[in-house]
């Protein structure tokens, strides 16, 4: 059995101090903060702004061809710096020990991050320890700290109904054709419900209560970037009827949204210029929906903590589902499927678009979805 390490991430006092970090050992949570709290000199709010700005820089440069790969020295160094700023020496040493032990046994260790929703934005998958990005060195699963305990007892999920939703005014003809093939050859057509036509609205997301997989490809943004509030997805950025097409995180604070079928929700929120106006921006940190869907019944959520390019989003999703649902063999546990997909981009494709590293997983890492 592969080595597993569990970390709890909590807000600190004062709130601008780096997060409190605890490490689970034999059922006991150990305080991993430095004895002198010396790293409190780091302002977490300022660091968040720096990370946010760097993600915007990355995605701006990705659009300039030829772009840089994940092996770019500046990219690795920057997220190595953020890692040291935000994660204490004790935790870094524990993670390194687990990674090296697993590597010696030719295994990939599992990292479970029990995180407060205020700290979802921490880009664990992008942290670099001098050898590799965490999303490639570990199979990472985020488990949000909730007010109510969700039912995560299901270990296998038979996939009988897939809803595949695409935002209007979003993809060009070639991209839309590729999107339509997301599940073809992986699941029978009878198991798939695709939108368009007609293009979906928010009700289609909320009413997909019998979904085993809910796949959403849309614009993502912040409605008020100046105050870092509120994350939204839009299914039609050019439509002025935002009530019909805009999904906001605040909706999940009510009982309007709920998924009794315990689905996998895959949110492909790509960069948005928000042609409809309203002050959103194109790139940057966009956390929020993982914990939201998880709190409302989704067994697992796969999404990104920053917008990605449309072409990569479509291609990544199909490859992920091939690995997840066993198109070329046995279905893989979801954390393993995500790790295999990322490594394919890193080692086989050597993608010039590093945003495949932005994908993250919420919920149990060992769930198996099978046709």
Domain of 92? 4-144
**Residues 12 and 131 both lie in one domain:** yes
Q: Considering the domain boundaries, does residue 149 fall inside one?
A: no
Structural domain ending residue among the three candidates 112, 144, 176: 144
Is 151 within a domain?
no
Say yes or no: 140 and 160 in one domain: no
- Label residue 193 by pLDDT band (50, 70, 90): very high
In a domain, 239, yes or no: yes
**What is the tens place of the pLDDT at every residue in 289-343?**
888 899 999 999 999 988 788 999 999 999 999 999 999 889 999 999 999 999 9
In-domain check, residue 150: no
Tally of structural domains, the chain: 2
Predicted local distance difference test score (pLDDT) of residue 287:
67
**Among residues 85, 120, 144, which one ends one of the domains?**
144
User: Considering the entire predicted model, what is its pTM?
Assistant: 0.93
Of 144, 177, 207, which marks where a domain is finished?
144
Residue 213's DSSP bridge partners are 162, 264
| Structural domain contains residue 357 | yes
Query: Is the same domain home to 179 and 310?
Result: yes
At residue 281, the pLDDT reads: 45
Q: Say yes or no: 221 and 255 in one domain.
A: yes
> For residues 278 and 201, which has the higher predicted lDDT (pLDDT)?
201
Any idea what the CATH number is for the domain that residue 298 is in?
Answer: 3.40.50.1460
* pLDDT at 93 exceeding the cut of 70: yes
Decide if 365 is inside a domain: yes
- Give 327's contacts (C-beta < 8 A, 6+ positions apart): 185, 186, 321
**129 and 225, same structural domain?**
no
Strands (E), the chain: 4-10, 20-25, 28-31, 110-115, 139-144, 156-158, 162-166, 192-195, 213-224, 229-234, 246-248, 264-270, 300-304, 359-362, 368-370
Residue 168 and residue 80 share a domain: no
Residue 83 pLDDT exceeds 70:
yes
Q: Quick one: average pLDDT of 179-206?
A: 92
- Asked if the structure places residue 91 within a domain, the reply is yes
**Percentage of the chain with pLDDT > 70?**
91
Q: What mean pLDDT value characterizes the chain? A: 89
The predicted-structure confidence for 354-368, as pLDDT tens digits, reads as follows 999 999 999 999 999
* 242 domain residue, yes or no: yes
pLDDT at 223 over 80: no
Query: Does 345 have pLDDT greater than 70?
Result: yes
């Amino acid at each position: 059995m592969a080595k597993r390490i569990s970390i709890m991430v909590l807000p600190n006092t004062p709130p601008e101090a780096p997060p409190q970090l605890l490490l689970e050992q034999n059922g006991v949570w150990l305080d991993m903060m430095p004895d002198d709290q010396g790293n409190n000199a780091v302002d977490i709010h300022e660091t968040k702004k720096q990370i946010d700005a760097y993600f915007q820089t990355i995605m701006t440069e990705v659009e300039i061809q030829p772009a840089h790969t994940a092996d770019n020295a500046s990219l690795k160094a920057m997220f190595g710096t953020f890692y040291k700023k935000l994660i204490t020496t004790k935790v870094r040493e524990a993670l390194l020990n687990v990674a090296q032990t697993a590597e010696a046994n030719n295994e990939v260790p599992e990292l479970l991050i029990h995180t407060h929703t205020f700290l979802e934005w921490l880009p664990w998958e992008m942290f670099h320890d001098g050898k590799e990005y965490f999303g490639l060195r570990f199979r990472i699963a985020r488990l949000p700290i909730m007010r109510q305990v969700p039912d995560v007892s299901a270990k296998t999920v038979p996939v009988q109904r897939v809803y595949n939703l695409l935002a209007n005014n979003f993809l060009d003809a070639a991209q839309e054709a590729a999107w339509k093939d997301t599940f073809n050859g992986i699941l029978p057509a009878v198991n798939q419900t695709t939108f368009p036509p007609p293009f979906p609205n928010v009700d289609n997301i909320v009413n997909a209560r019998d979904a085993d997989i809910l796949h959403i490809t849309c614009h993502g943004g912040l409605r008020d970037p100046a105050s870092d509030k509120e994350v939204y997805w839009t299914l039609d950025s050019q439509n002025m009827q935002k009530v019909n097409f805009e999904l906001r995180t605040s909706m999940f604070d009510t009982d309007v949204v709920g998924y009794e079928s315990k689905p996998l929700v895959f949110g492909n929120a790509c960069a948005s210029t928000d042609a409809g106006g309203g002050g959103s921006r194109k790139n940057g940190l966009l956390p929020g929906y993982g914990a939201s869907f998880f709190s409302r019944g989704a067994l697992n959520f796969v999404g990104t903590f920053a917008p990605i390019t449309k072409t990569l989003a479509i291609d990544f999703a199909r490859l992920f589902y091939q690995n997840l649902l066993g198109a070329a063999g046995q279905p893989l546990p979801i954390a393993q499927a995500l790790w295999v997909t990322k490594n394919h981009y890193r080692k086989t494709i050597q993608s010039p678009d590093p945003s495949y590293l932005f994908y993250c997983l919420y919920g149990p890492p060992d769930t198996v979805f099978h046709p």
